[in-house]
């Protein structure tokens, strides 16, 4: 029996308005990004490169192949910029030492220009965790890091000119915001600050809470809005502020059931990606999901296993993106692209909100 077969085409994700930066950190290989709807991205930041001596360097030859594949995307997506990130958590072990000297900063800036030219990439993102305050155990930090970071950015801008972009990843918590950066000196020289408004409750925390909330929810003050208000108070232009979203959950165990595990004693247990939520945070696994209407953030609790989970979901992603629009901020970024579902994931929720 003949007839016509109807094919239902899925609606492509809405593309954000061009004034909003949508920035993906990417730690995948040369092919994984092809599974994701990247056409609405303004930036992909490849993570990470590290210091070899005083120079920016790839760790492995396959990292260069990944960057080349990302750069090839620009032929189809002319608005896309591909940037390279230095460091990451535990990835900036010698930054304090190298950037403490004029030679170290000069050598690094020259190497950045060489690498950017060789890879046809568009800029450098500095993810030094952290200048002047404690980061990973054993990493040097010193009060003079704060000014040395300013000198580093000055050296980079002088060497790179205005052809290349410079951004940096900033801790979203008060100690970093107040002690790590000379904001009035640094911000005129960079294109944006990527506020890491996630991991605000982290692996060292002994009390549960929201790791990436939009607003303070007493007694937890630290949040996206708290960080943005601080940057505004020290004169950072709103259009240079990019807030962060998390495409992963943080899970704590040994958490008592009071308040569905929120703000209770607990021990950090593990992280897992958004693409695993359907299985890992499901009701069949024993999790019930809740919404904090003050923090504008979701959380989940498993009474049987005494586990508490904190994360972003489509609703919180949409609210963060709307916040960026309302506050006239520069954009929204997230860690990390391969944590998402390839289809109907958090990135699509972000696009939908950004296009409104």
Percent of the chain with pLDDT over 90: 94
Give the model's pLDDT for residue 19: 80
Q: What is the pLDDT of residues 60-114, one digit of tens each?
A: 999 999 999 999 999 999 999 999 999 999 999 999 999 999 999 999 999 999 9
Give the model's pLDDT for residue 3: 37
The band of 14, judged by pLDDT with boundaries at 50, 70 and 90, is: low
Three-state secondary-structure class, residue 215: coil
Give the model's pLDDT for residue 45: 99
**Cβ 342 vs Cβ 28: under 8 Å:** no
Give the model's pLDDT for residue 5: 35
Name which of 16, 38, 8 is nearest 337 in CA terms: 38
Mean pLDDT in the chain? Answer: 95
Rounded CA-CA distance 76/66 in Å is: 17
Give the model's pLDDT for residue 6: 37
Three-state secondary-structure class, residue 110: helix
Q: What is the pLDDT of residues 252-307, one digit of tens each?
A: 999 999 999 999 999 999 999 999 999 999 999 999 999 999 999 999 999 999 99
The band of 8, judged by pLDDT with boundaries at 50, 70 and 90, is: very low
Domains of the chain listed by start with CATH number: 21-247+312-354 (3.20.20.80)
Distance of CA 62 to the CA centre of its chain: 23
Q: What is the pLDDT of residues 128-145, one digit of tens each?
A: 999 999 999 999 999 999
The band of 2, judged by pLDDT with boundaries at 50, 70 and 90, is: very low
Residue carrying the six token digits 């396959």: 62
Phi, psi of 340 (to 5 degrees): -80, 165
Percent of the chain with pLDDT over 70: 95
Quick one: 179 exposed, middle or buried, by C-beta within 10 A (0-12, 13-18, 19+)?
middle
Q: What is the pTM of this model?
A: 0.94
Q: What is the pLDDT of residues 31-71, one digit of tens each?
A: 999 999 999 999 999 999 999 999 999 999 999 999 999 99
Name which of 134, 131, 160 is nearest 148 in CA terms: 131
Give the model's pLDDT for residue 15: 60
What residue ranges in the chain does DSSP mark as E strands? 21-26, 43-52, 55-57, 81-87, 123-127, 165-171, 192-196, 241-246, 248-253, 267-273, 287-292, 297-302, 307-310, 331-335
Asked if residue 7 has pLDDT above 50, the reply is no
Give the model's pLDDT for residue 4: 35
Q: What is the pLDDT of residues 182-238, one digit of tens each?
A: 999 999 999 999 999 999 999 999 999 999 999 999 999 999 999 999 999 999 999
């Amino acid at each position: 029996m003949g007839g016509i077969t109807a094919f239902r085409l899925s609606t492509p994700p809405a593309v954000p308005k061009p004034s909003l930066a949508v920035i993906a950190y990417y730690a995948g290989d040369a092919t994984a990004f092809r599974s994701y709807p990247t056409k609405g991205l303004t930036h992909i930041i490849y993570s990470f490169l590290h210091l070899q001596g005083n120079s920016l360097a790839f760790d492995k030859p396959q990292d260069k192949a990944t960057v080349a594949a990302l750069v090839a995307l620009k032929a189809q997506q002319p608005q896309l910029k591909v940037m390279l990130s230095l460091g990451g958590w535990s990835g900036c072990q010698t930054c304090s030492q190298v950037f403490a000297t004029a030679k170290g900063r000069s050598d690094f800036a020259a190497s950045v220009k060489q690498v950017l030219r060789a890879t046809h990439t568009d800029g450098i993102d500095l993810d030094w965790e952290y200048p002047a305050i404690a980061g990973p155990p054993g990493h040097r930090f010193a009060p003079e890091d704060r000014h040395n970071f300013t000198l580093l950015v000055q050296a980079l801008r002088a060497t790179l000119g205005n052809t290349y972009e410079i951004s940096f990843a900033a801790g979203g918590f008060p100690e970093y915001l107040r002690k790590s950066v000379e904001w009035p000196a640094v911000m005129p020289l960079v294109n944006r600050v990527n506020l890491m408004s996630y991991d605000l409750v982290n692996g060292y925390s002994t009390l549960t809470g929201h790791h990436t909330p939009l607003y303070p929810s007493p007694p937890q003050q630290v949040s996206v809005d708290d960080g943005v208000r601080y940057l505004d108070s020290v004169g950072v232009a709103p259009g240079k502020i990019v807030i962060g979203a998390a495409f992963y959950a943080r899970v704590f165990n040994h958490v008592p059931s009071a308040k569905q595990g929120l703000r209770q004693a607990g021990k950090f247990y593990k992280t897992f990606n958004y693409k695993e939520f359907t299985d890992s945070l499901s009701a069949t696994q024993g999790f019930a999901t809740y919404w904090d209407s003050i923090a504008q953030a979701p959380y989940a609790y498993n009474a049987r296993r005494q586990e508490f989970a904190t994360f972003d979901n489509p609703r919180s992603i949409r609210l963060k993106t709307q916040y960026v629009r309302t506050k006239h901020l520069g954009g929204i970024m997230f860690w990390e692209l391969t944590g998402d579902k390839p289809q109907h994931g958090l990135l699509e929720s972000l696009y939908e909100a950004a296009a409104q």
